[in-house]
């Protein structure tokens, strides 16, 4: 008997939003997304501690930024041995308002993957959708380095990403939902704002519909989910990146 996750696969590319290899083996996503907080969570588990220990041993004395990037690549390499598609690896968020520094860090990440024997087609460089981040992505895409623009909350950001010809955007659902719920306070009606009426869902649908109506090739990957209803309401989006709890 088919479960909800298998049904979702018929309409949408399923992506795992985690650094947990066992979750990926169990739920068989096509792609995976990571970020430093997810990797931090993973290395606190005994099963993954050896990756951190190996990086620290092999690169003792290296600057912290390099250690972090090498750890992200170590996880990325392991992930790509499990998923058939791509992994998103994030540029340090502190560089989000510095175009040139973002480009330099992306080159460093790609160089580490290249040294590990990973084809560039399997990597998405994850960058915040600030104006500076979008300009960095534009330059990287022109070089053939595919980018995933994250922390995206609005159609204007999505349009700027489309103009930059980025590979993929990750419009957030949950944080928009959180904002509206907090702003409404005691007036919030959960049932009335669920599913297709969820303000975060509506934001992603607006972006997706605009892209498709105007023939924009940039992929749309819904992200930052709080509940199953948000995922179900966005079935049919190009991709959806989902936490282990909601994948289960």
Residue 25: Cβ within 10 Å count:
11
Structure tokens at 91: 């540029």
Q: What is the distance between the alpha carbons of residues 217 and 229, in angstroms, rounded to a whole number? A: 27
* Helix axis angle, 64-80 to 49-58, nearest 10°: 130
Element (H, E) at 219: strand 219-222
In contact, 201 and 209? CB cutoff 8 Å: no
In contact, 144 and 118? CB cutoff 8 Å: no
Residue in 41, 126, 182, 212 annotated catalytic:
126
129 alpha-carbon distance from chain centroid = 12
Q: Is 126 a catalytic residue?
A: yes
Handedness of CA 128, 132, 138, 143 (dihedral sign): negative
Give me the active site residues, please.
126
């Amino acid at each position: 008997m088919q479960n909800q996750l298998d049904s979702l696969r018929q309409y949408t590319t399923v992506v795992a939003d985690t650094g947990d290899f066992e979750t990926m083996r169990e739920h068989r996503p096509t792609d995976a997304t990571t970020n430093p907080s997810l990797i931090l969570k993973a290395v606190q588990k005994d099963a993954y501690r050896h990756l951190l220990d190996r990086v620290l041993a092999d690169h003792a004395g290296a600057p912290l930024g390099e250690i972090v990037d090498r750890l992200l690549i170590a996880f990325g390499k392991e992930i790509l041995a499990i998923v058939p598609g791509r992994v998103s690896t994030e540029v340090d968020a502190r560089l989000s308002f510095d175009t040139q520094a973002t480009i330099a860090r992306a080159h460093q990440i790609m160089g580490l993957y290249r040294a590990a024997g990973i084809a560039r087609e399997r990597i998405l460089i994850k960058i915040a959708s600030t104006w500076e981040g979008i300009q960095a992505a534009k330059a990287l895409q022109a070089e053939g380095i595919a980018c995933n623009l994250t922390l995206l909350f609005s159609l204007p950001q999505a349009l700027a990403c489309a103009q930059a010809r980025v590979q993929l955007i990750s419009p957030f659902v949950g944080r928009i939902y959180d904002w509206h719920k907090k702003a409404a306070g005691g007036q919030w009606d959960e049932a009335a704002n669920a599913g297709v009426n969820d303000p975060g869902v509506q934001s992603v649908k607006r972006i997706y519909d605009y892209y498709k109506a105007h023939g924009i090739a940039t992929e749309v990957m819904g992200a930052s989910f709080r509940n199953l209803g948000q995922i179900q309401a966005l079935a049919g989006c190009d991709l959806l990146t989902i936490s282990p709890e909601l994948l289960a």
